[in-house]
Amino acid sequence: MKDQGAPPEASVQVSSKSVEDRRLRLVNRTMQLYRNEAHALIETLHAVQESFGYLEEDVLKYVARTLRVPLSRVYAVATFYHSFSLKPPGEHTCVICMGTACYIGGSGAILDALREGEGIVSGETTSDGKVSLLVARCLGSCGLAPAGVFDGEVTGKLDSEHVLERIGRWRGHEH
């Protein structure tokens, strides 16, 4: 099951030039807003991540050229901050909160269950490219501990069964 499907990179590389241009529009707008000044780097990387889903190497080079920042610094900033990812994300994203309240509430056990059930740990994508698993430091939804985010939708009071069931549905198999 897990070995089926194309590797996630493939779908991004085949994107045609016109699609690329449309995705660059938000990036260009952000840089222009800051008059292409170097201090716009982090804001620009946010824009890249928003429209591309991750930080593509070619786009990073383009950003470095436009803002006149050494590529080494772009790479340093891109890897320093946890929000940025150099790998393309899966079709769906599951974020499990590992803030103190969620940890005390048992989010560690949920991650263990995901490792055993789906074979992924934080930062990884399932081999069929369907689901990426991320860990958040604190969603600030401590009142709902343990909490998680499924494709942008915050859900509270999670347990392992519920999470496995949701991920199973995304991957198209039942548990």
State in angstroms the smallest separation of the CB of 8 from another protein.
22
Annotate 58-116 with DSSP letters as a single string: HHHHHHHHHHT--HHHHHHHHHHSTT--SS---SEEEEEE-SHHHHHTTHHHHHHHHHH
For residue 117, state whether it binds another protein (rule: CB under 8 A): no
Burial status of residue 21 (CB atoms within 10 A of its CB: 0-12, 13-18, 19 or more): exposed
State in angstroms the smallest separation of the CB of 104 from another protein.
5
Neighbouring residues of 115: CB distance < 8 A, sequence distance ≥ 6: 121
Q: Helices 41-52 and 57-67, interaxial angle, to 10°? A: 150
State in angstroms the smallest separation of the CB of 47 from another protein.
10
State in angstroms the smallest separation of the CB of 117 from another protein.
15
Where in 144-173 is the site for another protein (CB under 8 A)?
144-145, 147, 153-156
Nearest CB to another protein, comparing residues 55 and 130? 55
Burial status of residue 111 (CB atoms within 10 A of its CB: 0-12, 13-18, 19 or more): buried
Nearest CB to another protein, comparing residues 156 and 168? 156
Q: Which helix or strand (DSSP H or E) is residue 27 part of? A: helix 17-33
Q: Helices 17-33 and 57-67, interaxial angle, to 10°? A: 40
State in angstroms the smallest separation of the CB of 17 from another protein.
29
Query: Contacting another protein (CB under 8 A), which of 3, 58, 80, 174?
Result: 80
Give the interface size with another protein as a residue count (CB under 8 A).
42
Given the rule CB under 8 A, which of 15-23, 54-62, 104-112, 124-132 is the region that contacts another protein?
Answer: 104-112
Query: Contacting another protein (CB under 8 A), which of 28, 62, 91, 103?
Result: 103
Applying CB under 8 A, the residues found at the interface with another protein are: 38-43, 45-46, 69, 73, 76-77, 80-84, 98-101, 103-105, 108-109, 112, 136-145, 147, 153-156
